[in-house]
Amino acid sequence: MRSLWMLVAGFMFAGMGVFVKLGASYFTSIELVFYRSLLGVFVTYLAIRHYDLALTTMHWKVHCWRGLAGLSGMLLLFYCITQLPLATAISLNYTWPLFLALFSTLILKEQLHWSLIAAITLGFLGVILLLQPTLQADHWLTGLVGLASGFFAAIAYIKVKQLSNLGESNWCIVFYFTLICALVTGTWLLLTRFSPVTLHSMLLLLGMGATATLGQLALTQAYRTGKILVVGALGYSTVLFASLLGMLIWNEILPLLAWSGMGLIVLGGFLSGYLSHRIVSVAGRG
């Protein structure tokens, strides 16, 4: 039952996507990332003070790489959400486990098994099917942007794993990530312009920040108390919730080919995570 916190996280992250899509009428993707990150800095700083954790770090270089990779992924995801059906954008971003499985062999030197190759191939076959309706709608480039968001997210997760191995706390990792995002996007906006904030648009920003923060807290609770494989599988509930919300709010009815592609992405991603976990467990016992 504790793993079901991941369902809460999935719904919250899909809700964040809704607020991003609604907020695109008032703000650019850079502004949305800035406000999302600014709230994240505030919340994580309060948590660090509450738990009396240290803010000092000796691993600035790794934090910077994690921050820049995560920022790139978030910017591309937010842009993709504003241009494509919500479920399509979320599904393309959720290719990150496929890229992560590849990076684990290239960067972390973990062994690549044929079963893992098959799972990765299955997932990317799903990407091709998902992008077929997108290609027909002349949104091919935007689809590749969504795929790139998954690529950068995988790099960010690699850096998170490195930081965890170096002894950095979860709150510290999230704090520096949101701080880097806020500083980079805030500097860019100071050199360009901020869009005016109205009462309605401010409520959308608060909704985006609240759902993102609650999703992160539920995600943390799920991984802390639940079974990792069950949590990983339930993480794909974000795709389902995004599909349902997209249909309810914008009447985004996807063709059968797109649904098939989404299913293969979810299956390939889950199998990649499952097989990677099994391979690491067997290697550890050996």
In DSSP notation, 126-180 reads HHHHHHHHHHHTT-HHHHHHHHHHHHHHHHHHHHHHHHHHTT--HHHHHHHHHHH
* Under 8 Å between Cβ of 88 and 242: no
Give residue 41's pLDDT: 92
Of 26, 32, 29, 97, nearest in space to 265 by CA: 97
CB atoms within 10 A of CB 50: 9
Sign of torsion over alpha carbons 259, 30, 202, 66: positive
Query: How large is the greatest C-alpha to C-alpha distance in the chain, in angstroms?
Result: 60
Q: Is the CA virtual torsion 117, 255, 133, 26 positive or negative? A: negative
Q: What is the per-residue pLDDT for 283?
A: 35
Which helix (DSSP H) or strand (DSSP E) does residue 260 occupy? helix 256-285
CA distance 200 to 214: 21
Instruction: Output the pLDDT for position 280.
Output: 42
Question: What's this model's pTM, rounded to 2 decimal places?
Answer: 0.86
Q: Provide the pLDDT for residue 62.
A: 94
**For position 60, what pLDDT does the model report?**
93
Q: Following DSSP, what letter does each residue of 62-89 receive, concatenated?
A: HHHHHHHHHHHHHHHHHHHHHHS-HHHH
pLDDT for residue 251: 92
Q: Is the dihedral of CA 227, 229, 233, 238 positive or negative?
A: positive
* pLDDT for the residue numbered 249: 94
Q: What is the pLDDT of residue 107?
A: 61
The helices-and-strands tally (H runs, E runs) of the chain is 12, 0
Q: Which helix (H) or strand (E) holds 33?
A: helix 29-50
Three-state DSSP class for residue 59:
coil
pLDDT tens-digit series, residues 22-46: 999 999 999 999 999 999 899 889 9
Supply 87's token pair.
């479920």
- The conformation of residue 25, written as its DSSP 8-state character, comes to T
| Alpha-carbon distance values, 6 to 88, 127, 158, 198 (Å) | 20, 24, 21, 33
List of the chain residues with pLDDT < 70: 1-3, 104-114, 116, 133-138, 223-233, 273-286
